[in-house]
Amino acid sequence: MDLIPNPRRTDPAPPKAGPVRLDGRTVIEAAPGTEGVARWLRTTVGAATGLPLPDAAVSGHGGSGAQDSGTQDSDGSGSGSDAPGRSGRGSRILLGIGPDIARESSPEGYRLTAGTDTVRIDGGGPAGVFWGAQTLRQLLGPDAFRAAPVVPGRAWTVPPTVIEDAPRFAWRGLMLDVSRHFMPKDGVLRVLDLLAAHKLNVFHFHLTDDQGWRVEIKRYPRLTEVGAWRSRTKWGHRASELWDEKPHGGYYTQDDIREIVAYAAERHITVVPEIDIPGHSQAAIAAYPELGNTDVIDTTSLAVWDTWGITANVLAPTDNTLRFYEGVFEELLELFPLSSSPFSPFVHIGGDECLKDQWRSSPAAQARMRELDLADEDRLQSWIVRHFDRWLADRGRRLIGWDEILEGGTTDAGLTPGAAVSSWRGYAGGIAAARAGHDVVMCPEQQVYLDHRQAAGEDEPMPIGYVRTLEDVYRFEPVPPELTAAEAARVLGAQANVWTEVMQDRSRVDYQVFPRLAAFAEAVWSPLPAPVERDYADFERRMAGHYRRLDALGVEYRPPGGPLPWQRRPGVLGRPIEGAPPNV
């Protein structure tokens, strides 16, 4: 089988079991808690196959839900007097929740059994059933990933098999930057579908930065009226002399955000929003100049930034700034409600790459440091982080930030126990956080920054950062060997990060993200075959089939042989220097 990510265990079906044929008579029997998965199968797999896949009870097929098929006969047809193979009725897809699976693996674990006339998917919870349904879709072949049948009336079969599977890590994510280049809502929904197809369950939504503010905040309308738009955009690396003189921007209304969150939840994906403070905030300062260090520069002259890098324009450490962002987060929490997902409490506050030159020159900032008895500007940033850490904790939420939130100290920084760290500058921040008792999401730039170039060739479009091939990403290991078992348990998982400075549209995002996201998905889902390394040759073999799935989904991935002519960007400067820092 060419399944991606590779399941934990695949066994042959019982000896007499044959392939399961899905046709117009096939029904779905969904036990309580699996109705959403049944709906997804009808709307997604049903659209690709042209099969109605009705509910068994509504269709008159009989049966009483997945619970009535708790055992398999020797021919794999399922027990019960109404077994469709015996009555002349069509096949059935049984969806159920098995407490034993949750105990043995996790709520995201599942067991898929296919044989003769029954496909049965039992999950440790609804999410596990959903991941099992994703595996069923792969078993049906690449055409099951299309939006409509390409061969009406064709036969659809599922090979006889037993698959037992569960993820290695709970947090399996992708961070998408929509601030540098805005992605319209339909593109975000498409990204969520692609994450689901790869069994990834966290979407880190980078909504604000120097180059654009992308979420509507009703009490502060200028954040989107002004902060969501820039007059022009640097074309290529910041050293490039080229500009795109067309204004660029966009934002999501609050209803757009609610729709995105609900759409993700139906696919068992948690959306973690990021509002970046106190650095990477020039778009907000351009909209509300009083947020900046007005005693150092004329903030009324600032515009949304049109180039890349790290700007010196950061938030002023004032009470007004704190109250302003409390207002932002109050509205944000309503848009990202708590749910049954263990990651729904998380709110990302950025905290990275905050240049402190203006604070050093600001009498007001220096006075605030003396008032708080802070030794240096790193401690001043830590004071801002701690403020929002406690503010979020008081509302049942958890702060997560880039590893710079540890600057100013770990234990003595006073972070709440629930605060977590996204370790991007290598593994060091994650190691320090885990040893200080904080949860960690590993996303080291050297391994899983998908904006970095995929090969050293001159044909790579706008090449930046390190060369990270498909095999490099496949061999990514989230848990550093320096950690003890107790410290390693603090590693919630990992995510790949996609910064969009040189990704002007969906096609460029596709090119940078795929096929490497498939390799990442396997690294965070499939068990580590210690002490041997992962079998990259086997992964490449399975990718041959997976490319056909990506083709069916319309993903404009980087082909194994290099970029196609229209994927290149000749003459646009990148930064093809191995070992260069990643900031673009």
- Catalytic residue numbers? 209, 280, 353
Contacts of 106-109 with CB under 8 Å at 24 or more apart are: 106/166, 106/167, 106/170, 108/166, 108/167, 108/170, 108/201, 108/268, 109/164, 109/165, 109/166, 109/167
Inter-axis angle of helices 185-197 and 506-513, nearest 10 = 20
Q: Residue 460 and residue 483: Cα distance in Å, rounded?
A: 37
Q: Where are the alpha helices (DSSP H) in 50-125?
A: 56-59, 84-87, 99-104
The DSSP bridge partners found for residue 173 are: 202, 495
Cα three-residue angle 178-179-185, rounded to 5 degrees: 35
φ/ψ of residue 581, rounded to 5: -65, 155
At a CB cut-off of 8 Å and minimum separation 6, what does 270 contact? 201, 202, 203, 264, 339, 341, 343, 344, 346
H/E element, 330: helix 319-335
Coil, helix or strand for 219?
coil
Non-local (6+) Cβ contacts of 172 within 8 A are 199, 200, 201, 202, 493, 494, 495, 521, 524, 525
> What gap in Å lies between CA 198 and CA 5, rounded to an integer?
7
Q: What angle do CA 204, 215, 261 make, to 5 degrees?
A: 50
Distance CA 197, CA 187 (A): 15
Q: Which residue has the tokens 């708080």?
A: 372
Closest CA to 286 of 309, 314, 326: 314
DSSP letters spanning 403-463: GGGGTT-SGGGT--TT-EEEE-SSSHHHHHHHHTT-EEEE--HHHHBTTS-S-SSTTSSS-
Nearest-angstrom CA–CA distance, 389 and 325: 13
Q: Could you give the angle at the alpha carbon of 219 between the alpha carbons of 217 and 225, nearest 5°?
A: 60
Backbone angles phi, psi at 348, to 5 degrees: -90, 130
Q: Which residues contact 530 (CB under 8 A, 6 or more apart)?
A: none
Token look-up 């496909």 returns 119
Q: Which residues, at least 6 apart from 255, have a Cβ–Cβ distance to it below 8 Å?
A: none
156 and 49 Cβ atoms separated by less than 8 Å: yes
Q: Strand 27-30 and strand 161-165: pairing?
A: unpaired
Alpha-carbon Rg for the chain, nearest whole angstrom, is 25
Query: Helices 319-335 and 377-393 meet at what angle, rounded to 10?
Result: 40
Round to whole Å and give the CA distance between 437 and 45: 43
